[in-house]
Chains A and B, each alone.
Chain A
Amino acid sequence: MNDSTASGDDSSGNQAAPPPPKAIAKKKRNLPGMPDPDAEVIALSPKTLMATNRFVCEICKKGFQRDQNLQLHRRGHNLPWKLRQRSSTDAKKRVYVCPEPSCVHHDPSRALGDLTGIKKHFCRKHGEKKWKCDKCSKKYAVQSDWKAHSKICGTKEYKCDCGTLFNRKDSFITHRAFCDALAEETSKPPATVSPLSPPTAASSPPPPPPLPSEHEDSTQTDVVLPDNNNHVTEMLESVKPDSTSGRTLDETPVMTNLTSGSSSNGSSSSNVFASLFASSTSSGSFQSQTAGFSNLFQAIACSDPTPAVAPSSSSEPVALGLAVNQGSSIFGTAGPDHMQYPPAAPPPSLSATALLQKAAQMGAAASNTSLLRGLGIVSSSSSPSVSHDGASLAAGLGLGLACDSGSGLKELMLGTPSIFGPKRTTLDLLGLGMAATGGSTSGLSVLMNGGLDVPAATPFLGREFGGQDIR
């Protein structure tokens, strides 16, 4: 994935070093790039790794870029059944480590299960970025990434919460920093949990567009945040059901069709997810990243539903992800490092980074990227969240995703199993759904991280996807 995940990787790597708490240890197995311990670890030199056609047919010596292609090819040789099967060593699962010694994926315990995956990872992360976009000067190591980007560079618009549209990322970023939409919340005291408003995020039909403060109050009521709550609030502005129907819908007409059903129930929001994915593959009908995201969150927040789970945690799954991430992804384990910075400069929120990135960095990317990233955000935050904030938060996260994204993603998974590689990821995803009560949300994390690290997904999910995410 991109930096956010990279840091997430780091953090999980760090977690592995000291004897981790049980919750983490449990999680660890599911983290991205955590291969089957029985798998054969393959370390290739950069040269070999980048060599094309390194899967050679032992019969005709024809070379293939992918093992799968070789296997398909071998079938054509009409070998006896016995021979057609891979030998016992062949059958053994192979995992690949990154040749770069400083890389987290250099460690066999973090090897990736796909050669093409490690190849693109190596290229993107450690290779020279020699492909440069003419329009925005963004650089790519993989030509296909660059091509994909070039096609859509500058065609996307960025929209600030204040309604201003931008077609350039840096203008948007600068504006965003100075816009009152951001500042309004700054001026508020970093509110603690407010007793004023009940956790209503899920239930009630949207009231007339509320005051910003109401947003904040109800937002913060729902989630017990470790610190700097306002942080989260800004993100959540577009997540709240009321703001969704009031503000977001007005501002993002493009999304209307998608959001229309979102307030009703979980299944409709899974449609949202599905649609997001669908549209993204078809090169993105979304004009605005922000819109895409609002709706992602909206989907999560609105559909929030099931009384089966603790209401407090369920109402703001996204907030949870954001809150938790502040300390975690960047600094490794959330707990101790978290204290490293004075309150004046609270630990950063990687998810927040990604959130802005979703609108900014991804700008040119198809909206599927942002969706994935959005999910990634939540997911990457999820494992630290357990240790850091307690199970209820995680449960909330799990719930939110289980209810809407669960089904949406499942559709995705079912439709394109190849994307996320190993089947167990899918199972993990479904496990995530269960995790709503159990507090373990690692599944999604695996899905997202692992899934994104598997570049086989790239061609399917959209051109920009891989380039944005693995880097």
Chain B
Amino acid sequence: MDTNSKFLNPRINNGGLVHIDMQPSTTTSSSDSAAEGGGEAKWASKLLRECAAAMSEKDSAKMHHLLWMLNELASPYGDTDQKIAAYFLQALFCKATDSGRRCYKTLVSVAERSHSFDSARKLILKFQEVSPWTTFGHVASNGATLEALEGESNLHIIDISSTLCTQWPTLLEALATRTDDTPHLRLTVVATTAAAKSAMKEISPRMEKFARLMGVPFEFIVIADLNRLGELTKDALSIREGEAVAVNCIGALKHADVDERRSVIEMMKSLNPKVVTMVEEEANFSSNRNDFVECFEECLRFHTIYFDMLEESFAATSNEKLMLERECLRNIVRVLACDDKVEEHDSERREKGRQWSERLREAGFSAVAHSEDVVDDVRALLKRYRAGWSLVLPAEDDQTGIFLAWKDEPVVWASVWKPSK
């Protein structure tokens, strides 16, 4: 699988002509350059940017030349550069041939056909084991949720997230071991994708079983009759009198249509939750969605960091890594080569923490700082992973939430909200 990793290391000059060095690229050089975030020294980024620019300038000859070149150099099984080249090349190619939609649907159906609960579970748990990418948000959100619900005896957590319940076992354990009486917990999971819906059939008995094991009185509800998050209503959640409601929103709002986001957040507000925890990856494919080059740059920036992280976190031949990369391919094609009206599938218009904060404030939420304890928990979490991870606290006053950073690049944003008084 990694046979191409000692691929030739080409460099290009401004004219788009390529000089190929005969020196093999080493893994260290690629990871070093990743620290720069933008990947200045990386041939793939350079070629891809050139190509995107040529495309937007409608410089067809240059574009074809670069596409051809990328095609020669790229490989989904190579080093990070080659992978980046391969996946973005596909998006550029789709864009050029206006086949993004078809390509995306094919990719999704391939993924769905090969999807199984077993592989999804393995993937998620393995990812959690090697990287805090997801666990960061779990720890931050669970900690904030537990603090906000402390002393309540009837909890209702509404889980609008893509975590497939993997964040809940530790919360159940924490509930079971907290000093006051174990509260009753209702957990309502909103599943909008086919994969999540089918996985919930497996997860549901597991969660119930585990709650019994932990001695937490537990009720598990799956809302699986929605196609979009925008369809979720307050009625469907059947909030009960006397329940302390918490809304957990991890990696889910980015899938809502951009136009629906406001209404989803307002719906959350109407639940009068004690707390809303929100975690999203720190990328912006939203405000720049009408500027192809800008959006491309941002997409490339984010995924370069992500691929670098995957490369260093997983073993070279990890199947899980490959699956995560393929997920990226779908997202990249979705963002760069599809119009926003791909039916029946989720948006990938991510927004950065600052943008989400604005939305939440507009809807009547106020930010709550993570407590010192939760921040400590997150720090302790990061210590157990390899070097390269760090916690970034909000620097400016108008910034909210905390960031997980990979090589000093903020990559995941976690925040806590309460309805404004």
Supposing A3-B178, A175-B125 touch, asked if A352 and B376 sit within 8 A by C-beta, the answer is: no
Asked if B234 lies at the interface with its beta carbon under 8 angstroms from chain A, I say: no
Q: A345-B217, A348-B214 are in contact. Are A6 and B170 (CB under 8 A)?
A: no
Contact with B along A314-352 (1 / 0, CB 8 A): 000000000000100010000000000110111111111
The docked-state distance in angstroms from the alpha carbon of A357 to that of B176 is 9
One digit per residue, 1 when the CB lies within 8 angstroms of any chain B CB and 0 when it does not, for chain A 355-369 equals 111001100000000
A residues near B213, Cβ cutoff 8 Å:
176, 182, 231, 234, 349, 352-353, 355-356
Report chain B residues within 8 Å CB of A58.
none
- Give the residue of A174, A341, A357 whose beta carbon is less than 8 angstroms from that of B170: A174
Flag if A137 contacts B205 (CB, 8 Å).
Answer: no
Chain B: CB-nearest residue to A348? B215
- Measured between alpha carbons, how far is A341 from B153 in the docked complex, in Å? 14
Q: Does A441 contact B (CB under 8 A)?
A: no
How far apart are the CA atoms of A427 and B182 in the complex, in Å? 34
A412 and B181 CA atoms in complex are apart in Å by 33
Specify the chain B residue showing the minimal Cβ separation from A174: B169
Interface residues of B in 175-204 (CB under 8 A from A): 176-179, 181-182, 184, 202-203
- Contact (A330, B181) CB under 8 Å given A228-B212, A344-B219, A356-B213: yes
Decide if A177 touches B380 in the complex (CB within 8 Å).
Answer: no
In the assembled complex, B173 has its CB within 8 A of some CB on chain A: yes
- A461 vs B184: C-alpha distance in the bound complex, in angstroms? 35
Q: Is the CB of B205 within 8 A of A3?
A: no
A358 to B348, CA, bound (A): 43
Contact call A182/B210, Cβ cutoff below 8 A:
yes
A-chain residues with CB within 8 Å of residue B172 when the two chains form the complex:
177
A341 to B125 CA separation, bound complex (whole angstroms): 32
Q: Are B212 and A352 in contact (CB under 8 A)?
A: yes
Residues of A within 8 A of B210 (CB): 176-177, 182
List, in ascending order, chain A residues with CB within 8 A of B168's CB: 177
Is the pair B128, A357 in contact by a Cβ cutoff of 8 Å? no
Chain B, residue nearest A184 (CB): B209
Interface centre among A135, A356, A361 (most CB of B within 10 A): A356
Tell me if A3 and B169 are in contact (CB < 8 A).
no
B305 in contact (CB, < 8 A): no
CB within 8 A of B212: which of A171, A187, A231?
A231
Q: 1/0 contact trace for A125-139 toward B, CB 8 Å?
A: 100000011111101
Q: Which residues of B contact A186 (CB under 8 A)?
A: 205-206, 208-209
* A7-21 near B? 1/0 per residue, CB < 8 Å: 100100000000000
Contacts of B289 on A, CB cut-off 8 Å? none
* Residue ID in chain B nearest A234 by CB atoms: B213
Closest to A346 in B: B212
Residues of chain A with a CB closer than 8 A to B340's CB: none
A-contact bits for B373-399, CB 8 A (1 contact / 0 none): 100110111011000000000000000
Contact with A along B151-171 (1 / 0, CB 8 A): 000000000000000101110
Q: Which residues of chain B are near A176, meaning CB under 8 Å?
A: 169, 210, 213
Q: Is B115 part of the binding interface, using a Cβ–Cβ cutoff of 8 Å? A: no
B297-319 CB contact bits vs A (8 Å, 1 = yes)?
A: 00000000000000000000000
Q: Is the CB of B181 within 8 A of A137?
A: no
| In the complex, B129 has a CB within 8 A of chain A | yes
Which chain A residue shows the least CB distance to B218?
A345
| Total A residues in contact with B, Cβ cutoff 8 Å | 51
Q: Using Cβ atoms and an 8 Å threshold, which residues of chain B touch A168?
A: 384
Give the residues in chain A near B166, CB-CB below 8 Å: 174, 178
Interface residue A170 (Cβ < 8 Å from any Cβ of B): yes
Among residues of B, the one whose C-beta sits closest to the C-beta of A168 is B384
Name the B residues within 8 Å of A326 (CB-CB).
215
- Asked whether B129 lies within 8 Å of A348 as measured between CB atoms, the reply is no
Is residue B121 within 8 Å, beta carbon to beta carbon, of the partner chain? Answer: yes
- 18 other contacts beyond A7-B181, A178-B203, A344-B219, with CB at 8 A cut-off? A134-B380, A134-B383, A135-B383, A135-B384, A174-B128, A174-B169, A175-B125, A176-B169, A177-B206, A178-B125, A231-B213, A348-B182, A348-B214, A348-B215, A350-B215, A355-B213, A361-B177, A471-B179
Q: Give 25 pairs: A residue, B residue, CB < 8 Å, sorted on A.
A: A3-B179, A7-B182, A133-B380, A134-B383, A137-B373, A137-B376, A137-B377, A137-B379, A174-B166, A174-B169, A175-B125, A177-B168, A177-B169, A177-B207, A182-B209, A183-B205, A186-B209, A230-B209, A234-B209, A341-B184, A341-B217, A345-B208, A348-B211, A348-B215, A348-B216
Contacts from B to A (Cβ < 8 Å): 121, 125, 128-129, 135, 139, 166, 168-170, 172-173, 176-179, 181-182, 184, 202-203, 205-219, 373, 376-377, 379-381, 383-384
What are the 7 A-B residue pairs with the smallest beta carbon separation, nearest first?
A348-B215, A177-B169, A137-B380, A353-B215, A177-B210, A186-B209, A186-B205
